[in-house]
Homo-oligomer: A and B are copies of this chain.
């Protein structure tokens, strides 16, 4: 999904950036599994919608990044939802490889079970071989 410049501007007008950011919740477009949650500034949203690949703002590194720019695990945008406040976007994406930098398909690979936090998913790849 790629939007025209005018369409992107129209979406941006409906958003409410807090401290310059909106929250992005990202799901697998097929099985709707939540893959990750990250942050976007205005430019990250603009690039995501115009190029059709997920871009984020790193609060720690204070820079724009495209998911997969190092790992190849890009996220192709398939659908976009906006919440009532306009400060959170929900994206359905085609995830190449895994979303999690720790090697899992989803960042939510830990679950509470009998009151304990346990890993309940298998790792897809070895992060040290993917992120150099």
A131 interface residue (CB < 8 Å to B): no
A37 and B24 alpha carbons, distance in the complex (Å):
10
A108 interface residue (CB < 8 Å to B): yes
Q: In the complex, which of the residues A1, A25, A27 has the most CB atoms of chain B within 10 Å of its own CB atom?
A: A25
Q: Would B88 and A37 count as touching, CB distance under 8 A?
A: yes
Q: Select from chain B the residue with minimum beta-carbon distance to A120.
A: B81
Q: A34-B34, A81-B108, A108-B83 are in contact. Are A115 and B3 (CB under 8 A)?
A: yes
Q: Would B112 and A80 count as touching, CB distance under 8 A?
A: yes
A69 interface residue (CB < 8 Å to B): no
Q: Would A84 and B100 count as touching, CB distance under 8 A?
A: yes
A55 and B11 alpha carbons, distance in the complex (Å):
30
